[in-house]
Structure 1
């Protein structure tokens, strides 16, 4: 009969859906970084029934893909993922490549520096450096995943993308933004437009009241990562912010040159 799927194609579709569901579950657990999540939070975030989550998590725990703390009843990413990660060979070792830039900027600004890497429609914090200023913006744990646009690093990546691609991501993540303070799809569209005009992203009290951040993505037009500087709002006035942006742009150009395997001329052209 026309339009009827064969048993093999039906099995393939079901198998693909199962893989997607497992990967989605792992992304949900990873979204809290090292803080872990209880099953009720996992069900609410994933949109799956709690009974389904319980069955999946039980199997993933047996396989070593998640780990459950008996005292807190929280789930964490499991040991097998760590073991597999040791064998992975990323195209760019951005965390190592950007480490010097993060620490130079932390020493210069005395504020908190983050490296965010793009993972599909999310940004993952993969490195950070803490400056010496005694009052800090709330530290973001390494490994935390957030929808692109939440945080200055992810927002700067949206600003650097072609408009159609950025809009598609904003639409797809629309329901997720509402879990983050004042974020909405329309708020992000305005923030992206402003970031494109400035040449960097800027958020003030958008995620955490009283704190702000600036961010810059790299490389241009096809961002794989971003560096952001977070501080209390009082340290991000217009004049100081422009000075920070100048230094940030210089470091980002060095990183872009390293990714392309060519000598950096960032200092010579930083005012272009």
Structure 2
């Protein structure tokens, strides 16, 4: 792999040399034989990673480097790439769709695909979801062992974010009963006013709920039953696709 290391070394030294370097300077600074420096530079120049001035014969970083830096990558987090089902659900609805999992005793957003509408909701990778008030968290909580669920809720701060927020342990437990019956959760102005969300469980091959996939939108775009039913069906289908990928059999 010496040739790869050598090529990367040339790129790094040119990145620190805005005035460019001659072949001799490259050879000297990297302690390379002049012939080796020439061969390396020739390949990098051919692939457009570096260029050579026709006037002063100095080498500079080339256009291929700029293409890497300015590439139009998707908007998903550079740390966690959303499953294709997340992106597809967002594309079909135009709304923000995100994936959440337990991280210790907290439910955290791991990946997302943002809304295409000018008016969009603020959700970020790494955001912690309130166990009692967010559909993304309640779907995960609903299929936990009953003793663990009660303990998690008892140790958490059940803030009444809006008049509709279930903010006692018993109220949340009653709500989770309905989530298990329906197979998904809907949150309407319970965490944020005028926000509607639907979340569905993602299951593993052992039938364990390992994640939730959630669509969140301003209530005004989900004001009628057909729009809500479409969103629910799309999120259930996305959860099913992801579960199938994990080996789950209904």
Q: TM-score, normalised by structure 2?
A: 0.59
Q: Deviations over 1:177-216 (max 9, x none)?
A: 2264434124422321221222111111111111110101
Q: 1:201 and 1:147, CA in 2 relative to 1: closer, same or farther beyond 3 A?
A: same
Larger Rg: 2
Is the Cα–Cα contact under 8 Å of residues 121 and 147 in structure 1 kept in the other structure? no
* Separation (CA, whole Å) in 2 of partners of 1:235 and 1:166: 33
What are the residue-to-residue correspondences of 1:19-98 with 2, within 5 Å? Answer: 95-96=80-81, 98=82
Q: Does 1:148 align with 2:131?
A: yes
Q: Does 1:166 align with 2:178?
A: no
Q: Does 1:242 align with 2:229?
A: yes
Out of 79, 86, 94, the position equivalent to 1:102 is 86
Q: How far did residue 251 of structure 1 move?
A: 1.6
Q: 1:247 and 1:256, CA in 2 relative to 1: closer, same or farther beyond 3 A?
A: same
In the alignment, structure 1 segments of 5+ residues that lack a partner are: 1-93
Map of 1:82 onto structure 2? none
Q: Deviations over 1:98-153 (max 9, x none)?
A: 421111011101111111111122111111111223322x3112111234333111
* Separation (CA, whole Å) in 2 of partners of 1:200 and 1:235: 20
Q: 1:150 and 1:122, CA in 2 relative to 1: closer, same or farther beyond 3 A?
A: farther
SS of match in other structure, 1:194: helix
Is the Cα–Cα contact under 8 Å of residues 198 and 235 in structure 2 kept in the other structure? no
* Separation (CA, whole Å) in 1 of partners of 2:219 and 2:176: 20
Map of 2:215 onto structure 1? 229
Q: Does 1:210 align with 2:197?
A: no
Q: Which has the higher helix share?
A: 1
SS of match in other structure, 2:176: helix
SS of match in other structure, 2:108: strand
SS of match in other structure, 2:209: coil
Equivalent pairs, count: 166
In the alignment, structure 2 segments of 5+ residues that lack a partner are: 1-78
